[in-house]
Amino acid sequence: MTALEGVKVLCVGQFYFAPYCTMLLARMGADVIKIESPDGDPYRRLATADEDGISLQFQFVNSGKRTMRLDLKNPAGRDVLRKLARNVDVVVQNLSPGAMDRFGLGYEQLSADNPRLIMASGTGFGSFGPYAGEPAMDLTIQARTAVMSTTGFENGPPTRTGPSVVDFMAGTHLVAGVLAALYQRTHTGRGQHVEVSLQDAILPSLTSNIAGFISSEGTMPERTGNQHGGLAVTPYNSYQTSDGWITVLCPTDAHWQRLCPLLEDTETDDPRFSDMKGRCDHAGDVDSIVERWTKRHSKDYIAKVLRESNIPCAPVISLGELLDDPHVYARGVLRKVTDSRGEFTTLGSPLFLSDSPTVEPRRASRLGEHTQDVLRDELGLSETEIADLDALGAI
């Protein structure tokens, strides 16, 4: 039995936030129906789209869901969603601020017909506060929340993170809220409104940076490159090797003491480096000592030696190397799946429950592929009624 077997979810969202949240729910066994506008999720039509108009990005976060076209600007389309919401457990949405309420599809309206309904809303800045209601995307939240100001090197420009950390971290937070609400419902019998904002989800990840800034009374540089975000741990950096780069960090004095004999450098005996504060105060000198050693060896050799000494490290790999990494596929977070249409790559699940198998991913559906099935199976509509909705432009 899967963890969420029997749980029905409507995803009224696009891009990455709500779709990643509902992808995780689907991998845990929930039946997810993705509601799309007549034109479809804009991420279907990116430059990586295949002959069915499905981009790789869309494939990754929407595989395993049923999809239907529904025009929420059409009164008949809104009526269909209301009816669907009467018989589902969760509605996950990240439409533009206030859109669901303007459509008459907000939590208060939908829960009046289904008190057990859980609505999970993904927003940019939340429903209250000075920025409430402002539109937001991953990049703009990174700008507004000092992520860009703390990414890159001291004398360089503010830089976005390589991965879309805001959308995916927020999607994971939203899953946690949904699961908590489902658990509470088993005791109360009532649903509730779950809200996660992009800014709230990413801000805690700045803990080291904020702590360093406060403790230094604002004198610490915001951008610390590959060093520790709060400049509170040294060594903590990427170091050049004979064939690439490797990351090395010593989070405790014990790690440093194990590293010193490997470096074979008398400068490690300098009393300035005897404790963490001293090493941090002279981080440049410590990094020079470490890199003199790493430059003499390959990154694989260094990784082997450091692992044997239980010192945290990892070679810096490329995207191409990541896609060939056997560990990634052994874990199943990236999946190559074959169906009647051939092989496709998608995301598995990063969640492992010992007594609840994850659901095998299916290829992302074509736009509106399950519209008629959903209307017939979930609402019991006849072919004539479905044709009438089509004629009205609702589907």
Catalytic residues: 167
Beta pairing partners, 31? 8
What element of type H or E holds 147?
none
Inter-residue contact 297 to 264 (CB < 8 Å):
no
CB proximity list for 316: less than 8 A, separation 6 or greater: 238, 244, 245, 246, 247, 299
Alpha-carbon distances of 203 from 5, 32, 144, 207, rounded to whole Å: 33, 29, 10, 8
Whether the CB-CB separation of 68 and 374 falls below 8 Å is answered with: yes
User: What is the Cα gyration radius of the chain?
Assistant: 25
Cβ neighbour number for residue 97 with a 10 Å cutoff: 19
**222: its two tokens:** 């915001």
Burial of 59 (0-12, 13-18, 19+ CB in 10 A): buried
User: Strand runs (DSSP E) across the chain, as ranges?
Assistant: 8-12, 31-36, 66-69, 90-93, 118-123, 193-197, 236-240, 245-249, 313-315, 334-339, 342-347
What would the DSSP string read from start to end of 305-352?
HHHHTT--EEE---HHHHHT-HHHHHHTSEEEEEETTEEEEEE--S--
* Amino acid identity at 13: G
One-letter amino acid for residue 37 of the chain: S
* CB-neighbour burial class of residue 384 (10 A; exposed 0-12, middle 13-18, buried 19+): exposed
Contact 87, 8 (CB under 8 A): yes
Task: Please give the Cα distance from 138 to 140 (Å, whole number).
Answer: 6
What residue type is assigned to position 108 of the chain?
A: E
- One-letter amino acid at 121 equals S
